[in-house]
Structure 1
Amino acid sequence: MKQLNLGGSNWQASQIAFGAWRMDALSVDQAAKAIDTAYDCGINFVDNADMYGKGESEQRFGDALKKTSVKREDLFIQTKAAIVLGEKYDFSREHIMNAIEGSMKRLGVDYLDSFLLHRPDPLMEPEEVAEIFDDLQKEGKVRHFGVSNFNPQQFLLLQESLNQRLLVNQVQFSLMHTPMIDHGIHSNMADDRSINRDGELIEFSRRMDVTLQAWSPFQYGFFEGVFIDNPKFPELNQELQKVTDKYEVSKNAIAAAWILRHPAKMQVIIGTMNPKHIIDSCQADGIEITRQEWYDLYKAAGNDLP
């Protein structure tokens, strides 16, 4: 599988990542099968978070990894922390340090390849976070750092205090979630799509050489469901089928290839636990849809061109 240099660094990882947020619903054997399938497809990057399944997704992954043929050193393992579900976002030293320890214990690892701050905390003290990151790196617990769902100013506010480069920003992006590009297309207009909701996040990330990790690549709304083969979206699925037939791959693969076609060089995080769907999604590797196909899919998803 094609490898990306994350955040302009020398750290290379698969352009498609395995998101383990649903893993808590699996048995250990089922989770092991999902991990083996992803690795056999060329995926070497795993994304998790301490809030997924209230820690059970990390625990299931850690237990399952021991039953696979995959070695820990063959994978890049990333997790996230800072969300206290339904209560607050917490970047305090006590919370982050405890979260890291808990995650490593559940995952069964003695270091994390990457750690992300999971959604912005309005009470963030950049200097405090900088000390936390320095200590985590000095202690060998975390190798790389990033954020999730930060806008450009939040990103810069933190980056300016750090000794480490923030390599990634994990954001929602898919054919059915495109505000990051809508307002650019509708620049200098007065319609709803012209509203700048994220501060030119894609353009900022390209200029700063930050890798955007696209989560929920097959979802619509905020975890409302998948758009693939969903009768609510007949025009999009008709267009997906047309492109699917041309390249002889799955609709999942074309939906992922649509994201990978963007010159921002994003990493796609697939969240399926179904081995067949994992294999289908990995078919996106090596597929480069045309410019016209990219626009046709964008329009079929309900978007317009002014």
Structure 2
Amino acid sequence: MRTMKLGSSTLELPVISVGCMRLNSLDSNEAERFVQTALEEGANFFDHADIYGGGACEEIFADAIHMNDDVREKIVLQSKCGIRQGMFDFSKEHILNSVDGILQRLKTDYLDVLLLHRPDALVEPEEVAEAFDKLESSGKVRHFGVSNQKPMQIELLKKYVQQPLVANQLQLSITNANMISNGINVNMENESAVDRDGSILDYCRLNDITVQPWSPFQYGFFEGVFLGSDKFPELNKQIDEVAAKYGVSNTTIAVAWLLRHPAQMQPIIGTMNTERLKDCIKAGDIHLTREEWYAIYRAAGNILP
């Protein structure tokens, strides 16, 4: 599979990340088959979070991949922390305790990447910096990043945190593309011109932070999948035409649309279906034309001024 650098780090990763949020929906045999399929396809970057399945997804993954030292050297593990029941928590104590739990469940001594999951309104960046320093010096975490954060939130962390922030997970799909649309509709009096994220896409590109799109097939906030949906007839027609041209599935084209953006994003794929995972991985070999990219963009109802 085609590879990429993660932010300003030296990590060389597949352009597709395997999301493990739904791993607890599989039985042990299915989970093992899914993980092995990912590895066979060259998708060795796995995205976790301590809240996925209440921690069960990390345990299931470790068992499914038969974690040991040899296996660990061949994979890249990312996990997230900071979400608690009814609150967000970026305190030093919570970050450190969360990482210890993550490592125990994944049966490993270190994470390649740790992300702060959702912005904590009560964040004290000095505490985050202390936690990151301790995690780095102890060898428990090698790289750090954030998730769902705006530029000024990242800047606040960077004032205190010494380590480069190499990734930012953000909701992005063809139908949830405001971070792209507001940059196209600058100074226009329409809904697409509303900047809801502080120009986060441009900010990440300027600061060598890899955008990791989550829910790449969803519309709304987990309202449903746009592929095959009768709510998006023009979009599906356009995607199907492009898919037929390349001899691939509509799933492949939806991911290829994200990969075509020059920001060099790394989509998080959440499917637990091995065939669909393979379709997603094929997107790394397709480079849509500018005409195809914009045709799909417009077919989703996104406007050009």
Query: Normalising by structure 2, what TM-score?
Result: 0.97
Partner of 1:43: 43
Q: Is the 8 A contact 1:151 1:198 kept in 2?
A: yes
Corresponding residue of 2:71: 71
For the structure 1 residues 67 and 276, does the alpha-carbon distance in structure 2 shift closer, same or farther, using more than 3 Å as the test?
Answer: farther
- Structure 1 residues 266-277: aligned runs within 5 Å: 266-277=265-276
CA distance, structure 1, for counterparts of residue 26 and residue 102 of structure 2 = 19
Alpha-carbon RMSD across the aligned residues, in angstroms, is 1.3
1:57 aligns with 2:57: yes
- Judge conservation of contact 2:67–2:107 (CA < 8 Å) in 1: no
Q: Which amino acid aligns with 1:224?
A: E
The one-letter amino acid paired with 1:196 is: D
Measure the CA separation in 2 of the matches of 1:230 and 1:67.
39
| Residue matched to 1:301 | 300
Provide the rounded CA distance (Å) in 2 between the counterparts of 1:16 and 1:250. 16
> Contact between 2:212 and 2:268, CA under 8 Å: does it hold in 1?
yes
Aligned residue in 1 for 2:259: 260
Q: Which moved more, 1:50-59 or 1:253-262?
A: 50-59
CA contact (8 A) 1:116 1:145 kept: yes
Q: Percent identity?
A: 49
The gaps in structure 1 that reach 5 residues or longer are: none
Q: Distance in 2 between matches of 1:231 and 1:223?
A: 16
- The aligned residue for residue 33 of structure 2 is 33
1:80 alignment counterpart: 80
* Distance in 2 between residues matched to 1:131 and 1:286, nearest whole Å: 41
- Runs of 4+ residues deviating >3 angstroms: none
Task: Tell me how far apart the structure 1 counterparts of residues 59 and 228 of structure 2 sit (CA, whole Å).
Answer: 32
CA shift for structure 1 position 232: 2.1
Shift of residue 93 of structure 1? 1.5
Q: Partners of 2:279 and 2:208 in 1: how far apart?
A: 29
Q: In structure 2, what is the equivalent of residue 92 of structure 1?
A: 91
Give the unaligned 5+ runs of structure 2: none
Task: Tell whether the 8 Å contact from 2:252 to 2:282 is kept in structure 1 after alignment.
Answer: yes
Structure 2: how far apart are the matches of 1:160 and 1:149?
19
Mapped to 2, the partners of 1:292 and 1:275 lie a distance apart of 31
TM-score by length of 1: 0.97
Residue identity in the other structure for 2:177: T
Instruction: Tell me which amino acid in the other structure corresponds to 1:242.
Output: E
Q: Deviations over 1:152-185 (max 9, x none)?
A: 0001110121111000001111111101011111
Structure 1 residue 250: Cα displacement = 1.1
Q: How many correspondences in the alignment?
A: 304
Which structure 2 residues correspond to residues 79-228 of structure 1 after superposition, within 5 A?
79-85=79-85, 87-228=86-227
Amino acid of the structure 2 residue aligned with 1:5: K
Q: Deviations over 1:98-139 (max 9, x none)?
A: 111111111111111110000111111111110100000111
- Within 2, Cα distance between the matches of 1:67 and 1:239? 43
